[in-house]
Chains A and B, each alone.
Chain A
Amino acid sequence: MLRDITLGQYYRTESVIHSLDPRVKIVGTFSFIISLFLVKNFIGYVIAALFLCACIKLSNVPPKFIFRGMRAIFFLLLITMVFNLFLTPGEPLVSFWKIKITKEGIRLAIMMGVRLVFLITGSSLMTLTTTPNNLTDGLEDLLKPLKKVRVPVHEISMMMSIALRFIPILMEETDKIMKAQMARGADFESGSIMNRAKSLVPLLVPLFISAFRRANDLAMAMEARCYRGGEGRTKMKPLVYKRIDIIALAVIFGYVVCCLVFGRILFR
């Protein structure tokens, strides 16, 4: 069962968005997020909403999956909106006791809410349509310039992909250790939170020991296969921009320009 766990939340299907180069998707998502914070009026948000809907439509991912991510941020959303609603100074609309709701407050609360929802939707669309592997590859390539300032970009991305490979293995191992401890009378399910946290110690110690042992073995296996860092390494699946990627970049650029012109410059 644990072997089938999907990481991130990749949704397997065929679509234009799925086939895009991961770098384009990362750049696109970031431009989209930045555009949300530059836009100052209603028209800008309409443009952003249209763009987002078009992307969702193109991605063939059922909207159900996309909005699932929203549950996780529901409270964050609520708190942000409530704080903005009550704590923004300005022209009071309703006021009772010490609390007052201002016109600016309503405006800001709605804006923040919409921003957050769009932000989460946009970024989960990226993770839904890109395999974790592709994502790390894309990130490595995009962050390459940071190598000049001695950021170990290749190493970080290698670590990320190894972590992704070992998560299911370690999960299975956790399960095994847990069962072994339970067979000897360990109790993970009852008691106060403190007690339950304490009962995790005998689970974590063997897990860590085994993780270190695995890491040691893996390092040896990698060395035996001539691994020597990113220098002089070739790629089996190099990232190449295709025509569709160029078109997508142009579309993203067009969207950002539209957002700026209509959402910030033309209508203040």
Chain B
Amino acid sequence: MKKMIRTDKLVFEYIRRDEEGNVEGITRAIDDVNLSVEPGQFIAILGHNGSGKSTLAKHFNALLYPTEGEVYVDGMLTEDDEHLWDVRQEAGMIFQNPDNQIIGQIVEEDVGFGPENMGVPTEEIWERVDESLKAVRMDKFRKSSPNHLSGGQKQRVSIAGVIAMHPKCIIMDEPTAMLDPNGRKEVIRAARGLNQVEGITVILITHYMEEVVDADKVFVMDKGKVVMEGTPREIFAQVDKLKALKLGVPQVTLLAHELRKSGVPLPNPILTRKELVEALKACR
């Protein structure tokens, strides 16, 4: 089966310059990354600030091109000018700041922006806008101004705007970083819904561990490299290694880890509160 996204020895460097524009040095933001994502998966990419995860995400949408190596989206090489717009249509992107990615002055107009750019006929645009607003449960707000919405609602509008382009894959670059806990829940629920109901591949970049627990696969990045890769269970079993990478683990997992250290016989790892309760019951 064709991979949704595949990177092959991906390297990205940018040149730092001082105020006069002289080259100060070269920074490797991404260093030899090989990863592949199967269609329909829910993928999480973790990493602390500056680990290169956002830079990596921008490669999946052809917003940045590799310095060395290759990125394929659905079998298309991102550097290929011929496929540029196909790549951007198939791999939609959600950014961090909800205010800076809404273009329309009315919710429905913003959702229609992508299809308008793709040259979709007017009637079909309306159909797509209807269905995508329903998919993120924002159809009640279709006539509102984005300025009146909460952060979580704005981010859901952005998601609807991407779905309206009928992508196969959605890349979310820290979509919840600027939201309150409620907004965070709304957005993650919307993303999960898309993955499960519509079968869209979701790549979630985040540093909130709780959002990662249900992912199919997790990549952990540090200094531009993928340092850990596996299911959430495999990743969170290594609490000490994650700590060394300046990453936390979900609270429950941390609690179980500490309990285990002080001698309570608990299985490793524990990801949800329910699991912990069951495990503690078994201990009695």
Residues of A within 8 A of B (CB): 3, 132-133, 161-162, 164-165, 168-169, 214, 217-218, 220-228, 232-238
Q: Is the CB of A165 within 8 A of B119?
A: no
Known: A235-B116, A236-B122. A226 touches B103 (CB 8 A): no
22 pairs, CB–CB < 8 Å, chain A vs chain B: A3-B147, A132-B105, A165-B102, A165-B105, A218-B100, A220-B63, A223-B88, A224-B61, A224-B63, A224-B93, A224-B95, A225-B88, A225-B113, A225-B162, A226-B114, A226-B118, A227-B113, A233-B117, A234-B120, A235-B116, A236-B115, A237-B109
The residue on A at minimum CB distance from B114 is A225
Q: Is the CB of B147 within 8 A of A226?
A: no
Residues of A within 8 A of B213 (CB): none
Which are the 4 A-B pairs with shortest beta-carbon distances?
A221-B101, A217-B100, A236-B112, A224-B93
The residue on B at minimum CB distance from A162 is B103
Residues of B within 8 A of A226 (CB): 85, 88-89, 114, 117-118, 165
Q: Is the CB of A221 within 8 A of B95?
A: yes
Q: Is the CB of B88 within 8 A of A234?
A: no
Does B161 belong to the interface (CB within 8 Å)? yes
Q: Is the CB of B119 within 8 A of A217?
A: no
Q: Is the CB of A221 within 8 A of B100?
A: yes
Residues of A within 8 A of B126 (CB): 236
Residues of A within 8 A of B129 (CB): 236
Known: A165-B102, A221-B101. A234 touches B147 (CB 8 A): no
Residues of A within 8 A of B97 (CB): 214, 217
| Chain B CB within 10 Å, residue with most, of A162, A220, A225, A235 | A225
Report Cα–Cα, A169/B120, bound state, in Å.
Answer: 30
Report Cα–Cα, A222/B61, bound state, in Å.
Answer: 12
Known: A224-B93, A227-B117. A235 touches B122 (CB 8 A): yes
The residue on A at minimum CB distance from B88 is A226
Q: Is the CB of B63 within 8 A of A133?
A: no
The residue on A at minimum CB distance from B112 is A236
A252 to chain B, nearest CB (A): 28
Residues of B in contact, count (CB < 8 Å): 39
The residue on A at minimum CB distance from B108 is A236
Report Cα–Cα, A238/B109, bound state, in Å.
Answer: 12
Query: Which of chain B's residues 179-235 have a Cβ closer than 8 Å to chain A?
Result: none
Residues of B within 8 A of A214 (CB): 97, 99-100
Report Cα–Cα, A228/B85, bound state, in Å.
Answer: 9
Q: Is the CB of B116 within 8 A of A221?
A: no
Q: Is the CB of B89 within 8 A of A165?
A: no
Does B263 belong to the interface (CB within 8 Å)? no
Q: Quick one: which of A161, A220, A224 contacts B92, CB cutoff 8 A?
A: A224
Residues of B within 8 A of A237 (CB): 109, 122
Report Cα–Cα, A253/B92, bound state, in Å.
Answer: 49
The residue on B at minimum CB distance from A232 is B119
Residues of A within 8 A of B125 (CB): 234, 236
Q: Is the CB of B88 within 8 A of A218?
A: no
Report Cα–Cα, A123/B176, bound state, in Å.
Answer: 45
Report Cα–Cα, A221/B101, bound state, in Å.
Answer: 5
Report Cα–Cα, A224/B93, bound state, in Å.
Answer: 6
Does B148 belong to the interface (CB within 8 Å)? yes
Q: Is the CB of A221 within 8 A of B147?
A: no
Residues of B within 8 A of A165 (CB): 102-105, 146
The residue on A at minimum CB distance from B148 is A3
Report Cα–Cα, A109/B41, bound state, in Å.
Answer: 76
Residues of B within 8 A of A235 (CB): 116, 122
Report Cα–Cα, A224/B165, bound state, in Å.
Answer: 11
B110 to chain A, nearest CB (A): 9
Residues of A within 8 A of B106 (CB): 133
B16 to chain A, nearest CB (A): 18
Q: Quick one: which of B103, B122, B146, B147 contacts A238, CB cutoff 8 A?
A: B122
Does B121 belong to the interface (CB within 8 Å)? yes
Residues of A within 8 A of B117 (CB): 225-228, 233
Q: Is the CB of A218 within 8 A of B122?
A: no
B242 to chain A, nearest CB (A): 30
B217 to chain A, nearest CB (A): 23
Known: A217-B100, A233-B116. A225 touches B165 (CB 8 A): yes
Residues of A within 8 A of B88 (CB): 223-226
| Chain A CB within 10 Å, residue with most, of B97, B121, B147 | B147
Residues of A within 8 A of B120 (CB): 234
Query: Which of chain B's residues 66-93 have a Cβ closer than 8 Å to chain A?
Result: 85, 88-89, 92-93
Q: Quick one: which of B93, B100, B105, B112 contacts A164, CB cutoff 8 A?
A: B105
Q: Quick one: which of B103, B114, B147 contacts A168, CB cutoff 8 A?
A: B147
The residue on A at minimum CB distance from B125 is A236
Residues of A within 8 A of B93 (CB): 221, 224
Residue interface bits B236-275, CB-to-A below 8 A is 1, else 0: 0000000000000000000000000000000000000000
Report Cα–Cα, A133/B113, bound state, in Å.
Answer: 14
Residues of B within 8 A of A234 (CB): 115-116, 119-122, 125
